[in-house]
Amino acid sequence: MRLHAGPPLSFWAEVVSTTVYLINRGPSSALDGGIPEEAWYGKKVDYSFLRVFGCEVFVHIDKDDRTKLEAKSEKCTFIGYGGDEFGYKCWSIKDKKIIRSRDVVFNEKV
């Protein structure tokens, strides 16, 4: 994943975290093809929110954090999932920080 997406080496922890997140939602030979996430929580896994690691993502900027003439979104790079809460982790190239948000638009074709 890291080689495909091309994030800096400093993102190794995010790469590992996202990899584990995805492995826990895939079939496991230890469970005879069962899915660990389903075994732990007893409900079906929703795959509709999964995205391509390292793809381009546009994060919405709240109205209170911008002026009328400024852009409504910021171009970032998708680096992972929110964990306990629903959402996505995105790397702000401009501010050089991780942003957690649910209000995003993905461009996975790049």
Residue-wise pLDDT for 44-84, tens only, equals 988 888 999 989 999 999 999 999 999 999 999 999 998 77
The domain tally of the chain equals 1
92 lies in which domain range? 2-107
Going by C-alpha positions, the residue among 46, 55, 50, 49 that lies closest to residue 90 is 55
| Mean of the per-residue pLDDT values of the chain | 87
Task: Inform me whether the pLDDT recorded for 6 exceeds 70.
Answer: no
Going by pLDDT thresholds of 50, 70 and 90, the confidence category of residue 5 is low
Task: Inform me whether the pLDDT recorded for 37 exceeds 70.
Answer: yes
Give the Cα separation of 109 and 54 in Å (integer): 11
pLDDT of residue 8: 66
How many CA atoms lie within 13 Å of 100's alpha carbon, on the beta-carbon side? 8
